[in-house]
Structure 1
Amino acid sequence: MEKYVDMVSPFTGGKVKEFSTVEEHEFRKETYSVHVCYYMCEDTGEKFTTTEQDELLFNDLYSQYRVKHGIPFPEEIKEIRTRYKLNYSQITRILGFGANQYAQYENGQIPSESNGKMILAMQNKQVILGLLEASKEEFEIDEYLKVSEAISCASDKVTCSAQQSLFYKDIKRSVYNGFKHPNVQKLMEMIKYFVCNSKSIFPTKLNKEMFYADFYHYKRFGISISGLNYQAIQFGPVPVHYNTIYDNIDGINKEIVLAHDMESTRLTCDEYDLSLFDEKEKETLETIVRIIQPMKTDEIVAESHKEDAWINYSQENKLIPYSEAFSLRLI
């Protein structure tokens, strides 16, 4: 896929095209098909990329590798440490890792397959207690007792909340949820943000804002915001179980109104909280509001019907893989 973009060539000041394609890239002696975006100077034919485009490539590559080999993602690695109330020094001594190694894993460095599986195994409290006992000589007795108590008092594993079960079709990371681990609170605030900024909104249009936000963010960074699955139905792409989701968020008001000679639910909301979102996610949400909010519901439905993400999967109401993000036309 290629298109002209609103920028000038750094080589000649002339026109620039953006290309999106799939390439084979090798990582740790394995080959993966990854999405690659780059710019090309029309005058010279020279290719160049931005930091964002490079980040997209590596996020796609690393996400596929982590999923294939059962290696935890950075936020999961951090959650394990914080759940047991351990600092970096303590968990490093328990695992026998090198200095700063665990911190590097939390910051995005990919563990070896063996280290990744060891970290995941520590979700079981008995496993980490066994590792602590084996590394007892690495601790002063007072610190050992304190660490042992903190681990013993922690929950055995991360539990799946009732809302998470309602909102998400599955929690295993894949191309169908944008390689994002479910975060119920973030999902709810994302929805409330769109509802608040629209003053009032019907689910049909809200579904499109959610779809474009998640797929546009994946197009830029190789990961979604909400971690939702999307399905192609008659009125365009929608989150799976969207009615259940919207019906179970505190702070969203629902009013049955007549629209186009049929009953529909109008949603309103008074407040939202974006403190859980990083700056890239906030920028994506703001972009969606700026582009889609002025559009009428039938207009955004019509636009969504032009997307390959709908065209290729609507006949059988299939789930839409996030790889279709790279063919988005509206954004």
Structure 2
Amino acid sequence: MKSPFTGKEMKLVKEKRQMEFRKEKFKIIFHFYLCEDTNEQFTDVHLDELNVNQLYNQYRDLYNIPFQDEIISIRKKYNLSSTRMSQILGFGPNGYRLYESGEIPSLSNAKLIQMANDPNDFVKLLHMCDKIDQEEKHKIIDKIQHLIHEEENALFEREYVDYLFGREFPSFITGYKKPSFEKISNMVAFFGEKLSPFKTKMNKLLFYSDFLMYRESCFSISGLKYQAIQRGPVPVNFQSLYDFLNNKNIIKINTVDFGEYYGEQIINSIEFDDELFSNKELEILKFVAEKFENINSTQISDLSHMENAWIENVEDKDLINYNYSFELSTI
């Protein structure tokens, strides 16, 4: 961005600042451009979004307020319109739609949305709604009973997925996203199709994709948690993750004999579903694939050792805060 005073390119500066939202104060990494000749500070639409998203994310985290993805997924689970959801939960006619588009619910409305996520509680809310006639209520309840039955049948698999990714509320260690099995499996399939990487390289491809997306938007792609271990940043429970994907025929794992050791190469078995991802997320995935196309596992591991995200967490094998994305140095 050029200075309106001098016409020179300005320096991008990141500094810790305290900001307030709904009477709560939060520390964020504030982004701005600095005109070094006049010492004036400027932001653009993108930087404003980065700064505000950090603030909103921490507020949602503090009060366990559902994020947009979850709000959308709850409605889609019941196959209802946003208007119907607003009626059932007692919001204004456009309330649920606004929450899906990013407006932050009040604490009371957030609790109602969380209740709605449980099909049994949602039925109770539906019974209390006086804006929908009994015939339609019965139709919705029939669908919900079918949904409850499906969830009971898939209980073991759901519990195992919870074990892999955790049940934590979206936070700074998930990139403020709830882990999405569909997105995670398709990210692995994407890189398996494009690069057929070994596990060590796959771990870094996922790490750089999620952290680069967070640097651009303050949200990860997958919701994965990453841990710093000796060979660089890796998704938590990555061995179990790849075994599970292999057993589900989402990927194939080929064992390659290198003489002194064996390598495990990941190849996709499903067609990549680009409909799950935003245009920006797809752009990030393609960029990372092209960036590391001709780099092997050892080289990408060495590059990851240059990142503060690894350097400052490897000693205790800590989970990595996504705010380290603002310090990425090799991409």
Question: Post-superposition shift, 1:260?
Answer: 7.4
Q: Is the counterpart of residue 181 in structure 1 residue 178 in structure 2?
A: yes
Q: CA deviation at 1:162?
A: 4.9
Which letter maps to 2:244?
A: N
Shift in Å at residue 115 of structure 1? 0.9
Q: Does 1:120 align with 2:117?
A: no
Q: 2:61 aligns with which of 56, 67, 74?
A: 67
2:5 and 2:189 map into 1 onto residues whose CA distance is 44
Q: Which residue in the other structure is 1:132 paired with? A: 126
User: 3-state DSSP class of the match of 1:319?
Assistant: coil
Match of 1:142 among 135, 147, 150: 135
CA contact (8 A) 1:17 1:39 kept: yes
8 A Cα contact 1:231 1:237, kept in partner: yes
Deviations 1:62-92 (CA, angstroms, capped at 9, x unpaired): 1211121121112222222232333233332
- Once the 2 structures are TM-superposed, how far is the Cα of residue 328 of structure 1 from its aligned partner? 1.0
Q: Is the 8 A contact 2:215 2:326 kept in 1?
A: yes
Gaps of 5+ in 2: none
Q: Alignment partner of 1:161: what SS?
A: helix
CA distance in 1, matches of 2:123, 2:222: 34
Q: 1:144-223 counterparts in 2 under 5 A?
A: 144-155=137-148, 161-162=158-159, 164-165=161-162, 167-198=164-195, 200-223=196-219
* More helix by percentage: 2
Give the aligned partner of residue 227 of structure 2: 231
Change (3 A) 1:273 1:95: closer
Partner-residue secondary structure (3-state), 2:148: coil
- From 11, 20, 27, give the equivalent of 1:17: 11
Code of the residue aligned with 1:111 in structure 2: it is P
Change (3 A) 1:238 1:98: same
Q: Distance in 2 between matches of 1:30 and 1:274?
A: 38
Q: Distance in 1 between matches of 2:266 and 2:142?
A: 47
Partner AA of 1:293 in structure 2: E
Distance 1:79 1:44, change over 3 A: same
| Equivalent residue, structure 1, for 2:24 | 30
Corresponding letter in the other structure for 2:177 = K
| Closer, same or farther: CA 130–209 of 1 in aligned 2, 3 Å | closer
User: Does residue 303 of the first structure (1) align with residue 297 of the second (2)?
Assistant: no
Pick which of 275-284 and 68-77 moved more. Answer: 68-77
* TM-score, normalised relative to structure 1: 0.88
Q: How many residues align?
A: 323
Shift of 1:152: 4.5
- 1:22 and 1:8 map into 2 onto residues whose CA distance is 23
CA distance in 2, matches of 1:157, 1:28: 40
Q: In the alignment, is residue 322 of structure 1 matched against residue 316 of structure 2?
A: no
Q: What displacement does 1:58 show?
A: 1.9
Q: Which residue of 2 aligns with 1:52?
A: 46
Once the two structures are superposed, what CA deviation does each residue of 1:113-152 show, in whole Å capped at 9, x if it has no partner?
A: 011112211233443333333333x234433443444444
Residue 237 of structure 2 corresponds to residue 241 of structure 1? yes
Kept in 2, the 8 Å contact 1:25–1:31? The answer is yes
2:305 is aligned with what amino acid? H
Q: CA deviation at 1:281?
A: 0.5
Q: For the residues of structure 2 that align with 1:304 and 1:45, how far apart are their CA atoms?
A: 35
CA deviation after TM superposition for structure 1 residue 235, in Å: 1.1
Structure 1 counterpart SS, 2:276: coil
Deviation at 1:280, TM superposition (A): 1.0
Which amino acid is the alignment partner of residue 142 of structure 1? E
Tell which deviates more after alignment, 312-321 or 93-102.
93-102
SS of residue matched to 1:31: strand
Q: Which whole-Å CA distance do the structure 2 matches of 1:330 and 1:99 have between them?
A: 48
Q: Distance in 2 between matches of 1:170 and 1:153?
A: 24
Q: Deviation at 1:10?
A: 5.2
Task: Return the letter of the residue paired with 1:272.
Answer: F
